């Protein structure tokens, strides 16, 4: 591959959708996810007793009409898809691959509704022995080869993929997050499935209530929740409406494809530049301050230091260079990205593990905040309209009044002259 077109793939993706209503934070994290998917299992940071791979579980969380699905369009539908094939298909099925020198080792990408058993089989189908990493002693798996079953999964709606009663899915995605040498699962009718070198990179979109509703109740205790990165946007700014939104030119898309293909050819271990090793070691020893203190993030805190920050740092570094060297600038940027989303995680997770009324109240509070933010001159909404919103979420009139009283008693709302005002 030739040199990069852009000095920073993340920045280039953000600027490319400049005329759209996509929140900045979604622009950054969809680009990070695409990079992580392009790197796959072939790249890692050696932590001594284990390796950290770049794959991430990212969930874009925002109220409706905040362009969660649209934010996936450029990095995945336009860019990554040109460098990818679906599991079970051949490289010749994507005529664009030779243009970006990706026909020998295309990426794997799928989207839409899928069960855990289907996803296991898709990962198994992705398997290949990657000869580019074959001779690296640090990378060899069982049998002295490097197995790679890397796959990026895009699910526009979180609830299509995750069901709170699907323990199999929870167990599966929890275990493959570490990208160990193999994953085995015994099916009811098909015997034992063995995936060699699994590496799942996943990105999804969700509204706040759906995110916590669809998570299994034991997602925290079983480790799934701490492996996920919810990226929250509260819809602070009213979206700018236009009759026609300018499309992204072919030249811009082509340049981004070229750069992501360059990232897709990277292989081997990342390392920190010698000059920042003391700084990185100090950050890790101190727990990567500032350390989140919210109760809902206590399980997450260990993984933010052991894995999340390294995953983000690899993607930030790869966005700027194929050297596989993490510079001080990369490390600082990675921390900034992670700290930014951590400030908003408690908002997303506050409702996790609560009952039905609590979840509805959280959803309604988000709705009220959105109404007020989009219409600054409005203090709130008439109680009749508020009750109508509540009714959309419950089954009976009695439940409507129960929710309204609970929110008032909890100090989430004031009711003044039949106007419901968020607090």
Whether 296 shows a pLDDT value over 60: the answer reads yes
Say which residue, 393 or 127, is predicted with more confidence: 127
Is the separation of the CB atoms in 58 and 231 below 8 Å? yes
CA distance 283 to 281: 5
CA distance 160 to 183: 24
pTM > 0.75:
yes
pLDDT in tens, 167-191: 788 888 999 999 988 888 776 666 6
Name the percent of the chain lying above pLDDT 90: 53
pLDDT in tens, 301-324: 989 999 999 999 999 999 999 999
Strongest mean pLDDT among 176-185, 192-201, 239-248, 334-343? 334-343
Residue appearing with tokens 């509703």:
213
Is the separation of the CB atoms in 60 and 79 below 8 Å? no
pLDDT band at 166; cut points 50, 70, 90:
confident
All domains in the chain, ordered by first residue: 9-349 (3.40.50.300), 356-422 (1.10.10)
Whether 367 shows a pLDDT value over 80: the answer reads yes
> So what's the pLDDT on residue 47?
92
- The residue ranges of DSSP E strands in 366-418, in sequence order, are 381-382, 413-416
> So what's the pLDDT on residue 49?
87
Distance of CA 340 to the CA centre of its chain: 14
Whether 8 shows a pLDDT value over 70: the answer reads yes
Name the token pair of 122.
């898709």
Helices (H), 177-276: 208-214, 224-227, 250-264
210: phi then psi, degrees, rounded to nearest 5: -65, -40
């Amino acid at each position: 591959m030739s040199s990069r077109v852009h000095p920073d793939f993340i920045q280039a993706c953000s600027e490319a959708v400049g005329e759209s209503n996509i929140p900045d934070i979604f622009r950054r994290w969809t680009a990070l996810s695409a990079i992580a998917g392009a790197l796959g299992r072939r790249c890692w940071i050696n932590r001594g007793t284990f390796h950290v791979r770049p794959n991430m579980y990212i969930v874009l969380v925002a109220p409706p009409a905040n362009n969660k699905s649209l934010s996936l369009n450029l990095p995945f539908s336009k860019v990554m898809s040109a460098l990818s094939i679906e599991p079970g298909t051949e490289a010749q099925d994507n005529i664009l691959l030779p243009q970006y020198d990706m026909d020998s080792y295309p990426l794997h990408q799928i989207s839409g509704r899928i069960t855990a058993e289907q996803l296991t089989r898709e990962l198994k189908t992705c398997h290949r022995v990657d000869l580019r990493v074959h001779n690296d002693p640090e990378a060899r798996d069982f049998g002295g080869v490097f197995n790679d079953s890397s796959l990026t999964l895009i699910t526009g709606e979180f609830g299509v993929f995750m069901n709170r009663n699907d323990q199999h899915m929870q167990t599966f995605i929890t275990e493959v997050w570490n990208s160990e040498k193999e994953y085995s699962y015994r099916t009811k009718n098909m015997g034992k499935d063995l995936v060699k070198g699994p590496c799942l990179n996943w990105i999804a979109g969700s509204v706040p209530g759906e995110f916590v509703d669809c998570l299994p109740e034991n997602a925290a205790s079983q480790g799934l929740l701490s492996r996920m990165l919810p990226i929250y946007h509260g819809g602070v700014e009213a979206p700018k409406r236009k009759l026609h939104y300018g499309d992204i030119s072919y030249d811009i898309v082509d340049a981004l494809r070229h750069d992501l293909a360059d990232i897709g050819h990277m292989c081997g271990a990342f390392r920190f530049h010698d000059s920042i090793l003391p700084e990185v070691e100090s950050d890790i020893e101190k727990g990567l301050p500032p350390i989140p203190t919210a109760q809902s993030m206590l399980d997450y805190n260990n993984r933010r230091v052991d894995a999340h920050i390294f995953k983000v740092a690899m993607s930030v570094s790869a966005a700027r260079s194929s050297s596989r060297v993490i510079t001080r600038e990369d490390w600082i940027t990675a921390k900034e990205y992670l700290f930014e989303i951590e400030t908003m995680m408690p908002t997303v997770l506050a409702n996790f593990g609560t009952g039905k009324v609590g979840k509805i109240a959280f959803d309604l509070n988000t709705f009220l905040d959105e109404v007020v933010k989009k219409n600054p001159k409005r203090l709130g909404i008439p109680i009749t309209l508020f009750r109508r919103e509540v009714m959309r979420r419950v089954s009976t009139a009695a439940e409507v009044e129960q929710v309204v009283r609970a929110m008032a008693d909890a100090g989430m709302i004031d009711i003044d002259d039949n106007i419901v005002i968020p607090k």
